Amino acid sequence: MSRYRGTHRGRHARPSEGPLTQALGVVRRPAVTAGMALALVGTGAVGVGTNDAVADSEPFTLSASAVSQAALSAKESFADSNRISNERAGANAQRSAVEAKAQAAAKVKADAAAAAAKVKAAALAKARLAASQKAARDQQRASLIAGAQADPRGAARALMSDYGFSGDRQWGCLNLLWEGESAWNFKAENSSSGAYGIPQSLPASKMASVGADYRTNPVTQIKWGLNYIKQSYGTPCGAWDFWNNRYPHWY
């Protein structure tokens, strides 16, 4: 007994996909890459096997248009890769340039700040030194004035600048002048004229314009004498020259 195969088998059975149908997948799938298309060209035929059900199927070959499209796609892909690479390199170069510029600006700013700080520090150090030196001079001056009875010369030299006198020459003239007048004795008194003190004020009461203690305080006498020299002779050397040109000596 023969088996019944049915008369509609051929109509309902799923036909096998032949090589042409498989190859045409590149048309149905837009995502097929240029590399895949070129691979198809290299093989010359795709999907043709010895076990195919249809014996008389012809080998599938890509058309010239498909090959051209694949080549164009590959070229465009290569161009896109180059463009992206170039853009990336350009962006990196631009970023590097911006960073270098920022670093250079930061260095200039830092150098300027360091230079300004250095100048400020130097000025501050100079000011501190000047202040220290002045403080030392003021302390020495105060000490000399305070010790005027023991060292009237030191007190006179410390007070000279208050009247515009400076330098060794003016000091030398003042020293010789008052050495000749009183030997720097704040209690010296001329028995004949009554002139009194280191500058030999005549009368002695003139020195009261500086201080009531003119008889016992050499500083009061020195201040009066320096002012008298300035008003009458201009400088200690002027007074000394006048003193030397008079006999008996006086000024």
pTM: 0.56
Q: Taking the CA atoms of 64, 66, 67 and 73 in sequence, report the sign of the dihedral they define.
A: positive
pLDDT at site 26: 41
- Domain-embedded: residue 186: yes
pLDDT in tens, the chain (251 residues): 444 454 444 444 444 444 444 444 444 444 444 454 444 444 444 444 444 444 455 565 668 877 778 777 887 788 888 888 888 888 898 889 999 999 999 999 999 999 999 999 999 999 999 999 999 989 999 999 999 999 999 999 999 999 999 999 999 999 999 999 999 999 999 999 999 999 999 999 999 999 999 999 999 999 999 999 999 999 999 999 999 999 999 99
Q: Cβ distance 201 to 224 under 8 Å?
A: yes
Q: Cβ distance 65 to 37 under 8 Å?
A: no
- Domain-embedded: residue 103: no
- Domain-embedded: residue 75: no
- Domain-embedded: residue 232: yes
- Domain-embedded: residue 228: yes
Task: Name the domain count of the chain.
Answer: 1
- Domain-embedded: residue 21: no
- Cβ atoms within 10 Å of 234's Cβ, excluding its own: 12
- Domain-embedded: residue 25: no
- Domain-embedded: residue 66: no
DSSP state letters, 166-222: -SHHHHHHHHHHHHHHHTT-TT-B-TTT--BTTTTBSSGGGGGGT-TTTTT-HHHHH
- Report the length, in residues, of the chain: 251
pLDDT at site 204: 97
Domain of residue 176 covers 152-244
One-letter identity of residue 108: V
Q: Taking the CA atoms of 230, 235, 240 and 242 in sequence, report the sign of the dihedral they define.
A: negative
Q: Which SS3 state, helix, strand or coil, does residue 120 take?
A: helix
pLDDT at site 55: 45
Q: Is the peptide bond before 203 cis (omega within 30 degrees of 0)?
A: yes
pLDDT at site 59: 60
